[in-house]
Each structure stands twice: as C-alpha cells, then as structure tokens.
Amino acid sequence: MNPGIWRLAADPCPRPTLFLDRDGVIIEDAHYLSSPADVRLIQGSAEALAVAAAADWRLVCLTNQSGIGRGYYTEAQFHAVQTRVDELLAARGVVLDGVLYCPHDPDAACGCRKPALGMIEAAASKIIWSSGSVMIGDKVADLDLGRGAGLTPMLVRTGKGADVEQAGLQRGAVVYDDLAAAIVHVLGGGRP
C-alpha cells in the first residue's frame, strides 16, 4: 500500500526541506477533519511558512489521514479539505511544495503511516533534501519519523504537542510553542 500524493513536483536540486505535519501544526486539529468549512490556520503558521519559503526552504507536508481508511470521510473529502488549506495558505503567499498522505487504517499495516518511512521514501523518489532538513510535528509519530529518516525532529506545543511534552514523550526533540517559533529557530540556526 502506497501513500497518496496530493502534490509533489520532481526537484533534483538538493535544498533544505521542512517536513511538516498538517493537523495541529499548520492548521488547528479538528478530530477527523472532513469539511473545508472547518479548516482554520494556526495563528502565525502561514506567515512563518512564507518566511521559510522566501529563504529557499522546500515545504513538504506529511499527514496521516486514517479517517479515510476508517470510513469517517472519503478521499474526495480529504482533497476538498486540502484544497481549502491550500487556498488559505495561498492567500498569504504560501504554496506547499508537496503534500503526501497515508489514507490507511492503522490496522492495515501499511508502510506509509507515520512513523513508518513510506511517505519519506515516496518524497525521496522525487526530491533531494540537504542536511539540516527537519521534521516538525505535534505527535510522537512525527518525531519518530524524523529520527528514522535522519531529520532533526522538532515538537510544537500546538495540536497534541503540549500533551506529548507533558507526558515526557519528546525523547530529546526540541520543543517550541508553535510552528512560527520552530521556523525562527531553523532559519536562525541558533539554539533554543
């Protein structure tokens, strides 16, 4: 079983890449989001992504969407939601370079549901990222994917991130209040 690819243009030039979870990082986490009307950007996320893109960072979203496999919403509904995310970001001058998603139920034992490496492997078939690339997420699966792929894992407190931090599950990942704070650190190259 392969991941779905919403968009990912081939780009053989090595570039630093921000791999990003979507729900809880870029947009508010709305449990099993199925309606475009419910999409809300997290404050400051679009502006931070615009700054990263202007600094020539590639922006690639990797999102588990088990609601498709569980039958809570269809793949067409996911596409409608992602179209709305893209519209809201575009209104602020941001275009994601890629969006890959796992549509499978967790019990399907696919190779693309984070923390498995299937989405990263699919991305690697089209793009090359340079050292210093990062994975920013709000769940343990995001951090484990980052580690498994040799990326720097970063946890944000938005979405489920505060709960992950409170439970002490970040296991050495640096923690930031939100995506904007993480991107400031990445672009500045400094330490938290």
Of residues 47 and 5, more confidently modeled: 47
Q: Which residues of 168-187 are buried (b: 16+ CB within 10 A; e: fewer)?
A: eebeebebbebbbbbbebbb
HSE, side-chain direction, 13 A CA sphere, residue 47: 7
pTM here is 0.95
Enumerate the β-bridge partners of residue 129.
15
CB contact at 8 A, 41 and 127 = no
- Taking the domain 4-188, which CATH number applies? 3.40.50.1000
CB atoms within 10 A of CB 95: 12
The three-class DSSP label of residue 50 is helix
Domain ranges of the chain: 4-188
Give the per-residue pLDDT at 189. 60
**pLDDT band at residue 191, thresholds of 50, 70 and 90?**
very low
CA distances to 86, 154, 167 from 164, in Å? 27, 12, 5
20-34 pLDDT, tens per residue? 999 999 999 998 999
> For the chain, what is the total number of helices (H) and then of strands (E)?
7, 9
Residue type at 24? G
Catalytic residues: 21, 23
**Percent of the chain clearing pLDDT 70 (strictly above):** 98
Of residues 100 and 190, more confidently modeled: 100
Residue 61 sits at the vertex; the CA angle it makes with 59 and 67, to the nearest 5 degrees, is 165
Mean pLDDT of all residues in 83-109: 96
DSSP-derived letter for residue 3 is -
